Structure 1
Amino acid sequence: MKSLLDEQEFPTLIRAYRSALQRRYSTENLNRYPRFSGIPRERVDLLVRYFLELLYPELEGRRRLDGAFSSLAGFVHSPSKVFGLLGSLSGAVFKLGRHLRSAFQAGFAALHSYVTAHKFEELMFKRAKSLLNEGLDLERPEIFDIVLTSVSLKEADDFRRDIVLLFRTLSNPELLPRIRNLMDAVVRTMKSKPKIYSQTEIEGILLGANILSSGERLFQGMSRSEMDLILDAIETVEKDSFYDALERVQKIESGESLSEN
């Protein structure tokens, strides 16, 4: 089956989605929400950079990570592949004790959002391709609205919940170090068994660890109330971006033209 990365129209979708994310978290859009005015702009910029670099990298970044991503997706969908390692992780078990299972489950639940982010793009691609074939520009906000809302409400809501779960995990100062310690131990054990685990599989776990450790910086030095405000902002902005787009598309479908002026 042809990889999405090999589709010639896919880079256009990536660029359009990245542009939409930047609009979503722009000062202009956030000004719609007075309760989020206390979030420093530098925190918002850090959040956007995390989205762009870790969750939605440009095509070349995707290609470099493609094998690792496929491996990570396999672990996320079948965590028993990694859970079987835990019997060999005596050091990690000793350090984490009763927290071992919760750290394992929370880590892979959080990483599920990374996998579903790419699934979300796959769902949008079919509509994006048809619009490109019509000669339309995906980076026009009103055109991208159509691409975004080609995803079902359930899939959009599930994706948003996954994203919020990822950031909620990143904001947990007690749980996150346990997850990192566990993943480090998993990598060490996998490296010690080269006949069982391939380098690509190891890179998949390393990719997951990098997603979590890079995101930790988002919440460093913040109080719990400040963290909760950012989590509220992410959930609200992500939800409104989809439902507002849906409302605009419905108005367009009632008679407005999509053709270039």
Structure 2
Amino acid sequence: MAESNKALLCRRAVVNFLRAELEHRYSRENLARFGEFESLPEEVLTAFRAFVLDRIYPEPEKRMQLNRAFETLEALLHSPTRIQPLVRATLGSFWRLGRKIPAAIQAGRRTMQAFGHVCAIEESMAEAALAEGLPSGGPLEQAELAGLFNELPPEPFERLVNGLVALLHSLSDRAMLEAALEIAEKLERLMLDSPKKWTEAEKAGVTMARETLEEGLALFALLDPTQTETLIEGVERVEWDWIETLREEYS
């Protein structure tokens, strides 16, 4: 099997494994083990599961699209010549929203960081699989993937959990989220009005950012402040329980 094909198979197997693990730990049955989720309405749990599975770790094909969109968006934000026209066109919003802007930018950064932490674990597991000569002929097995998971040091998982918690705290700030959404909507309209100035990947990146902010706003609109903190605390417990359980089961 060609090395490029093996690398692709490894990456897809890792993506499928991590998504299946995510689906399991946010299933109704698993969440019932944690007291933080007992007081939360079912519509909140359903919305949160959808947000995590659609925006943090979607199915493989969408996952690859999301990966490209994030990479393009990050490149756009770090390119002065590309971003300056957008900033000039949205100066009115920046001026009016004032002190909310740094928090809005931080939320966007945390979204990309959370995504980056997932990518780092993916890449490390895929590299470990190739280094061990996997796959040897057939598809990677659950036990093999879990074994690769357990070979990783704790730091990537600490960054993943801390990054997800920080992202949820940012998204729970309604005023900030509304400010970020307003800017994303304006940027998207500007790109649609001048489509030839922007690549399809750049437009897709901004659309993805707007959709993520909309879904985050809709999710946290279902919660009062007390429930918000409860949800975030519950998520942190679920994540650490998953890591510790998987390590114990396949150690």
Structure 2 length normalisation: TM-score? 0.80
Structure 1 length normalisation: TM-score? 0.77
* C-alpha separation in 2, matches of 1:240 and 1:81: 45
Whether 2:136 is the aligned partner of 1:133: answer yes
Check conservation: 1:111, 1:208, Cα contact below 8 A.
Answer: no
Higher helix share: 2
What are the equivalent positions in structure 2 for 1:1-261 lying under 5 Å apart?
A: 7-65=8-66, 67-75=68-76, 78=78, 84=84, 85-128=86-129, 130=132, 132-133=135-136, 138=141, 140=142, 142-190=143-191, 197-250=198-251
- Cα distance change, pair 34–102 in 1 and its aligned pair in 2 (3 A): closer
Report the equivalent of 1:256. none
- Cα distance change, pair 204–19 in 1 and its aligned pair in 2 (3 A): same
CA positional deviation for 1:25: 1.9
- Cα distance change, pair 215–194 in 1 and its aligned pair in 2 (3 A): same
Amino acid of the structure 2 residue aligned with 1:94: W
* C-alpha separation in 2, matches of 1:100 and 1:40: 32
Deviations 1:146-201 (A, max 9, x none): 23333321111111111122222222211100011122233344556667643322
User: Is there any run of 5+ residues in structure 2 with no aligned partner, and where?
Assistant: none
- Cα distance change, pair 30–191 in 1 and its aligned pair in 2 (3 A): closer
Amino acid of the structure 1 residue aligned with 2:11: F
- Cα distance change, pair 75–55 in 1 and its aligned pair in 2 (3 A): farther
* C-alpha separation in 2, matches of 1:48 and 1:126: 29
* C-alpha separation in 1, matches of 2:6 and 2:60: 7
User: Is there any run of 5+ residues in structure 1 with no aligned partner, and where?
Assistant: 251-261
Higher RCO structure, 1 or 2 (CA under 8 Å, sep 6+): 2
Check conservation: 1:21, 1:48, Cα contact below 8 A.
Answer: no
Check conservation: 1:30, 1:36, Cα contact below 8 A.
Answer: yes
RMSD: 3.2
Amino acid of the structure 1 residue aligned with 2:227: E
| Percentage of pairs with the same residue | 24
* C-alpha separation in 1, matches of 2:48 and 2:230: 13
SS at structure 1 position matched to 2:99:
helix
